[in-house]
Amino acid sequence: MATITCTKCLLTLEQSFFIKEKGGFYTRCMTCREQNNEYNKKRKKVEVHESALILNYEELDQCLSEMIHDIGQEEYYENCETGINFTCLINTSSLSDKTPKEIADNMKDFIGNVDGYYYM
């Protein structure tokens, strides 16, 4: 059986660890490619979290209220073209004694109080 040496881990393995789906061979073995893919996934998640705001309830209330106020001052202003694109992480350390369902319900009620809608 033919073998290939991985350029990353330098192990000599069977060709089956290097086969491409569309023919040919990779220079790295299957294990090294999987480890690289996992590393890239984790790195992308960290980048998303680092770019997002981390807010507590008071800061979230202020940000959402300002955005809603900026959209329009009409009481029941609805338009498919208008919306709020808002991303943040919410600090729930004050809710550490709650279950995940209770935290989700708390968030749902909180956002409903800010934007005036009822969420189920």
pLDDT in tens, 86-120: 777 788 777 778 888 888 888 888 878 877 777 77
The whole-number pLDDT of residue 80 equals 55
User: Has residue 37 been placed in a domain?
Assistant: yes
- Using DSSP's 3-state secondary structure scheme, residue 13 falls into strand
User: Has residue 11 been placed in a domain?
Assistant: yes
Quote the Cα angle for 61-44-28, to 5°.
Answer: 170
Q: Do 28 and 42 belong together in one domain?
A: yes
Q: Among residues 36, 51, 66, which one ends one of the domains?
A: 51
User: Has residue 94 been placed in a domain?
Assistant: yes
Q: What is the pTM of this model?
A: 0.42
Q: Do 39 and 68 belong together in one domain?
A: no
The whole-number pLDDT of residue 13 equals 92
Instruction: Go through the chain and tell me how many residues it has.
Output: 120
The whole-number pLDDT of residue 54 equals 79
The whole-number pLDDT of residue 27 equals 92
User: Has residue 17 been placed in a domain?
Assistant: yes
Q: Do 45 and 60 belong together in one domain?
A: no
Confidence of residue 40 (pLDDT cuts 50, 70, 90): confident
User: Has residue 120 been placed in a domain?
Assistant: no
Q: Do 77 and 93 belong together in one domain?
A: yes
Q: Do 73 and 105 belong together in one domain?
A: yes
Per cent of the chain over pLDDT 70 is 80
**CA proximity to 84, closest of 76, 93, 72:** 72
DSSP 44-103: HHHHHHHHSEEE-HHHHHHHHHHHHHHH---TT---TT------EEE--GGGTTS-HHHH
Tally of domains within the chain: 2
Q: Do 109 and 62 belong together in one domain?
A: yes
Choose between 106 and 27: higher pLDDT: 27
The stretch 44-64 carries a mean pLDDT of 71
Q: Find the domain containing 47 and state its range.
A: 3-51
